[in-house]
């Protein structure tokens, strides 16, 4: 009897969680994109923060440099994204100190996914829901990109992804036509800029600026920081 009750309760909780994630996926109010290149990885994001139909902030950085080897791009509620960035940075630093070595990109991405998994399945009034792109470079110079869904699933990206950002449909549609294998980092930078520009033309929750970072064997570097200004004629 108790087992049946627990299974029913778990089913109800999972249903509510899935409904909440489904409702939040295209309400994440941002545009992020990650591109896998032959000589590295590119990640980019816009800068707009909205509350409903109101633009609350025009200069929010949605790419967080964890250290000289890792960077994350976040999509979701602003407060949820900010607290996630802090927790991820702290946990990865603690892991590095405990092991006296830095985890590789796959290990770091999976630790991040486990944190999101535990959070959303821990009883709480409102668990935070955040999607992430996790990029980094390993000690051997190999760069990797992972997409981490709000429920904690971690998947290696072999070409491109925009996670569950509100600009995702426009970005993925654009990349279906424009992305090509063996893209160079230099080409990827320009393509990432065009992805964000394409999204801001149709997604009212995205805009105001573009930030692009490259991840290569030399580490994480910002390569684009542009403000998008309205033009009146």
User: Mind listing the pLDDT tens digit for each residue in 131-158?
Assistant: 999 999 999 999 999 999 888 899 999 9
Whether residue 35 lies inside any domain: the answer is no
Whether residue 123 lies inside any domain: the answer is yes
Q: Higher pLDDT residue, 81 or 112? A: 112
Give me 144's structure tokens.
């990797």
Give me 200's structure tokens.
């801001």
Contacts of 174 (CB under 8 A, 6+ apart): 194, 195, 198, 199
Give me 113's structure tokens.
């996914």
Model pLDDT for residues 66-82, shown as the tens digit of each residue: 999 999 999 887 778 88
Whether residue 128 lies inside any domain: the answer is yes
Domain that holds residue 68: 47-227
Residue 120 has pLDDT above 70, yes or no: no
Is there a contact between 199 and 53 (Cβ–Cβ < 8 Å)? Answer: no
Whether residue 90 lies inside any domain: the answer is yes
Residue 113 has pLDDT above 60, yes or no: yes
Is there a contact between 74 and 226 (Cβ–Cβ < 8 Å)? Answer: no
pLDDT at residue number 17: 52
Whether residue 6 lies inside any domain: the answer is no
Mean pLDDT, residues 109-117: 90
The count of other CB atoms within 10 Å of the CB of residue 216 is 16
Give me 14's structure tokens.
């999972």
pLDDT at residue number 26: 40
Is there a contact between 192 and 35 (Cβ–Cβ < 8 Å)? Answer: yes
The count of other CB atoms within 10 Å of the CB of residue 53 is 7
Hey, which bits of 59-202 come out as E strands? 63-65, 70-76, 130-137, 143-148, 154-156, 160-161
Whether residue 63 lies inside any domain: the answer is yes
Q: Which candidate in 4, 30, 75, 200 is catalytic? A: 30
pTM of the model: 0.83
Q: CA 87 to CA 94: how far, in whole Å? A: 11
Looking at the 3D structure of the chain, how many domains does it have?
1
Question: Known catalytic residue: 74?
Answer: no
Whether residue 179 lies inside any domain: the answer is yes
Residue 84: DSSP 8-state: H
For residue 27, the SS3 value is coil
Q: Which CATH number is 188's domain given?
A: 3.60.20.10
Whether residue 120 lies inside any domain: the answer is yes
């Amino acid at each position: 009897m108790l087992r049946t009750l627990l299974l029913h309760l778990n089913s109800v909780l999972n249903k509510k969680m899935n409904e909440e994630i489904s409702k939040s996926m295209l309400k994440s109010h941002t545009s992020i994109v990650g591109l896998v290149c032959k000589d590295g990885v590119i990640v980019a994001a816009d800068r707009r923060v909205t509350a409903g139909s109101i633009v609350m902030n025009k200069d929010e950085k949605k790419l967080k440099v964890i250290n000289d080897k890792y960077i994350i791009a976040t999509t979701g509620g602003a407060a949820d994204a900010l607290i996630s960035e802090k927790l991820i940075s702290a946990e990865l630093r603690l892991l590095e100190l405990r092991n006296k070595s830095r985890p590789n990109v796959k290990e770091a991405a999976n630790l991040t996914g486990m944190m999101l998994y535990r959070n959303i399945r821990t009883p709480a009034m409102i668990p935070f829901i955040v999607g992430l792109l996790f990029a980094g470079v390993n000690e051997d110079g190999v760069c990797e990109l992972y997409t981490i869904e709000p429920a904690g699933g971690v998947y290696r990206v072999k070409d491109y992804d925009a996670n569950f950002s509100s600009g995702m449909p426009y970005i993925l549609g654009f990349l279906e036509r424009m992305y090509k294998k063996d893209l160079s980092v230099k080409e990827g930078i320009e393509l990432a800029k065009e992805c964000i520009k394409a999204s801001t033309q149709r997604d009212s929750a995205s805009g105001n600026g573009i930030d692009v970072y490259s991840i290569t064997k030399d580490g994480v570097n910002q390569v684009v920081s542009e403000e998008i200004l309205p033009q009146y004629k």
